Every structure is written in C-alpha cells, then in structure tokens.
Amino acid sequence: MDRKNLIGLVWLWGVVSFTAGCHHRGGPPPPPPKSAAMQSASPLPMNHRVALKPATRFVRVKKLADGLRLEDVFLGHGAPVQQGEQVVVTYTGWLANGKIFDASRWHGGQPFIFVDGAGQVIKGWDQGVVGMRTGGIRQLVIPPSLAYGRGGSPPAIPPDATLTFRIHLLAVMPTDSGP
C-alpha cells in the first residue's frame, strides 16, 4: 500500500471514529454559521491537502443523468435526507486541479446549515445531499451546469468549472416553519 492510500485510510478512520463518538450525544443543535458567503482564506498546509484529495475507494458510486456523480465514502445511519429538511454539514470543495477553494472550517470552524431543496445552495448540493444519512460522508462531483456554469464565481471558481465537494452530514434538524 502506498503512502497516499495509507494517509487516506488513516484520515477516513479518524472521521469515522469521530462520527461514531460525537453524533449520538444530546444537546442543542450547533449554532448557525456566521456567514454563508464565501470568504477568502490562505491555502491549507500540504498535509491537509493530501487528506482532502478524493478517495480512491468508495462504498457506493452513482452517476445521475444530469452528470452529477455521487460517491459515498461512508453511508451513515438513520433516515435518509429528503428535500425540505434542514441539514447540518461540514464540507471541503476543490477544483479539478486539486486546489481547495472553500471549506466549512474557513468560516469560523462552524458547520454549514441549509434547507435541502430550497435553493440556498448550488443545484448539485440540493440534489447530492438527498439520500445521505447522519454521519455519512459523500463526495459530489458536480458538472458546471449544476454549479456556477459559464460565469463561474470569480475569483475562486473559474468559468465552466467542475467542482468536487466532500460533505459530512452531521445532523438533520426540523425546519423552522414558524407560525
């Protein structure tokens, strides 16, 4: 086994151990992120980049007709996410060249909370999170048509960019429906 695969397996073991140990505790949900807007941040140290590169082995892979590729790293537990549910996730996103352009840890270390299917995120996320289970880790390979399209999102995301996100579903919470 080469060093790259070994590092990936150690990272995955750590994520799975963390998931098993912390997602069964009670208590209030995590606070919402301070800002959902993309913020610029300095690049991560090289050792973090290696751990965040796409995994070489997946539990399950599915490619949808619109080009979205769902690659499950860890399936999780509980009921699958359905559109309209509020989800709490951590994520890392990178371009095809391996450059990380955004990560939840860059936003004050807080998880990202959104209502799936409500248009609060790119279409690839709205479609790609459906079916995940709490504790699950899914990698999404999102074609430009389900991301930022021809215009991109300068300066971080160039035009017609295929994006890869590794998403860890921490919790599914009731949607605030209000009176």
Catalytic residues: 91, 101-102, 122, 148, 165
Give the number of other CB atoms < 10 A from CB of residue 162.
16
Give the number of other CB atoms < 10 A from CB of residue 119.
9
80 CB-contact burial (10 Å; exposed 0-12 / middle 13-18 / buried 19+):
middle
